[in-house]
Structure 1
């Protein structure tokens, strides 16, 4: 193993070499470089950003909105419409969503499909779920096979985005 990282997508893959000597710093929730996942909560746990802007009826932090609009413009120029499916969710909204999954599927399953309140990237205002304007394959694995999904897989990095949950890496991504 050479330490490189590969992300596969339909039509190819991207491989890169991670930087050496990088230290992850757990900073305040309002900062842009923040690891938020099932093991690293926001601090404060009920954090809400102050710079949210409306993007198609969903809210993103201002800098995230600018990046999304550039991404959407590039997709549109390629004949591929995209839309925001989900953006900022408050602590209360995330708790409600998680609890609805617990009620439907049980806690073990809910933990595989939703973050608990205070542990969601969406609460930072820096996470965006994208989709097709027609709603097809929204928040489903089949999205990767749509033109918008393929565009995101091949070009999202140009706008500062990552595909957060690449296929086959659940043990790594959580």
Structure 2
């Protein structure tokens, strides 16, 4: 989110630059994958504005996250949203990924982009061995590695027009506007 917010802030200065805000001590990012309920209870006594962004993922995880979002949104100065797409990687444009990995991935809004990309990169580099023959552990390791560079190097290849193509409803902008509003209430 920090890289995308910096990109959007340059074009729309009213949107917050999350990287700058984090650098200035105005906000803190807590990556809380897995079981966020404990964190939510821990942070509540601080009575500070909170914003949570949850990947939609797939059922039954989606339903659990919808319940959690509803609970958070009942608290004052707290907002939580569930992405409309499976995960943040689904907002990346295939051309940004191609610029980094020299592959052209094909994925929809609810596909696992990291898995798709990891498989395509692996297959493009191994003519003698295919992805399906790999054990699960190496596949997971390669998927996690792809997820990392997708959220760093590929995001850095994004432009505002590419983002608008992948997010025509302005979902990411709405998250940034919400974060900016919450920061003003702190």
TM over 0.5: no
What's the TM-score, normalizing by structure 1? 0.29
* Greater fraction of residues in helix: 2
* Greater fraction of residues in strand: 1
